[in-house]
Structure 1
Amino acid sequence: MEHVFEWRRIFFNDLPLIFLAEVVFRTLVMFFFLVVTLRSAGKRGVKQLSIYEVVIIVALGSAAGDPMFYEDVGIVPALLVFLIVIGLYRFITWLAARNRWFEKVVEGLPVYLIEDGQFAIEKFGKEHLSQDEFFSELREQHVEHLGQVRVALLEASGEMSVFFYADNEVKPGLPILPNLYDEQFQTIPATGIYACAFCGNIEEIPAGISPCDRCGKTSWVKAINTRRIA
């Protein structure tokens, strides 16, 4: 137990203090090459990164981090990793620009989440996107209910694209404000226009229990028909 809580080992790993100066040098060199490498890769924002670009960033981070403070990791091999990774990035980008099939593989395709004011339920379930998260993104676009939305797509970049109905085309829709969406009915209290809480389907239904004609669920929310306020 004499090796437990040896403070010099914990803080310096038995290395001489002068190695801290080498750490400074290594960090400056790797930071410089990391900036140069990412700068040469393009100007896409972090949220716009594709899956393979995230892999490249992780690889560069690992290649840059180890030589900064591990004495047994040389800088030159790390720089070779940089050159290989950025070369792969350039090659993949070049190939994706010339081959539509390959572009679909590495970049992905947009996915329709809302069509004609209703959830595209056969596609929505394939994406790892919770309903609360989706509603939150729609509310950031000043959406109150799905009847205002003609189409919503989840882009390959992870961003949400929303296309709206014109004001005179807005129809009743499923409200996405929490206080309204949470007022769900299994038993309809009175005849009216309701939205299925699962798929967004709109129906005029009588009092009682009614399954949705589209998805078969029985949870309903009172539909609203307000215009969008930009």
Structure 2
Amino acid sequence: MKWDELLLGGESWSFLAETVLRTTIMFTVIVVSLRLLGKRGIKQLSVFELGVIIGLGSAAGDPMFYKDVGLLPSILVFTIVISLYRFVTYLISRSRRFESLVEGNPTCIIKDGEFIVENFRKEPIAFDELFTQLRLHSIAHLGQVEQAVLENNGEVSVYYVDEKDLRYGLPILPDMEEFTSGSLPQDGMYACTFCGRAQELKAAQKHNCGRCGKDQWKKASKRRRNT
């Protein structure tokens, strides 16, 4: 085993000092570039902004430690990407249609304590991920939600039901027991695990959801939200 090749690849020890210089230069370019992007570019990223960051990262990484990759082409890539970003954000500010084309639109996925199934199917978000975000908003069941909107950056905005309008809803806390329609333990309020609709059901009878036709249920909850 040749330790020089293992540690340095095909380069000499002197290239380590050059790597320090290259990394310092490119890191400075990254910081300046992100500063030029502004606050919009460093918050929770939209798809468009994520593409910009990936492009900048690709341009910055290679010249830091590949000797045959020059600094000037990478800096030129940064200049072009940032220029395109500023141009596209200008167009976004001038055209609502162009903004929708580039960044998409917010999607309402819960309304009046029930999933909007047709909208939910369009979005690449799993139930577990959605429930996690709702729990971070102190939501224990869907009956506490008047409306939930999946934003362009992947965050979920939640509008709460007034306490006086609180309804039964699908519980989203972990380890809540699930039942099929033929194994309901007792009469009571149950919520469909597919669409979220809550309804009163009898024990041990065949029950299909009147909204979506599924037969998986959880005992519905009407607990108040902890604020």
Q: Deviations over 1:77-112 (max 9, x none)?
A: 111111000000000100011111110011111111
Partner residue of 1:221?
218
> CA RMSD of the aligned region, Å?
1.5
After alignment, is 165-174 or 42-51 more displaced?
Answer: 42-51
User: For residues 14-163 of structure 1, what are the structure 2 equivalents within 5 Å?
Assistant: 14-44=10-40, 48-163=44-159
Which whole-Å CA distance do the structure 1 matches of 2:218 and 2:30 have between them?
52
1:45 is displaced (CA, Å) by 6.8
Which whole-Å CA distance do the structure 1 matches of 2:159 and 2:10 have between them?
61
Instruction: Point out where structure 1 has 5 or more consecutive residues left out of the alignment.
Output: none
1:205 is displaced (CA, Å) by 2.5
How many residues were matched structurally?
Answer: 225
Report whether the alignment pairs 1:183 with 2:178.
yes
Partner residue of 1:9?
5
Give % identity: 49
TM-score (norm 1): 0.92
Instruction: Point out where structure 2 has 5 or more consecutive residues left out of the alignment.
Output: none
Q: Deviations over 1:178-199 (max 9, x none)?
A: 233x232422343322211111
Q: Deviations over 1:166-215 (max 9, x none)?
A: 111101111111233x2324223433222111111122223311111000
Which whole-Å CA distance do the structure 1 matches of 2:8 and 2:144 have between them?
61
Judge conservation of contact 2:108–2:149 (CA < 8 Å) in 1.
yes
Matched position secondary structure for 1:113: strand
Which whole-Å CA distance do the structure 2 matches of 1:191 and 1:20 have between them?
73
Which whole-Å CA distance do the structure 1 matches of 2:193 and 2:67 have between them?
59
TM-score (norm 2): 0.94
Amino acid at match of 1:117: G
1:72 is displaced (CA, Å) by 1.1
Residues 176 and 47 (structure 1 numbering): CA distance in 2 closer, same or farther, change over 3 Å?
A: farther
Q: Deviations over 1:124-149 (max 9, x none)?
A: 12222111111111111111111110
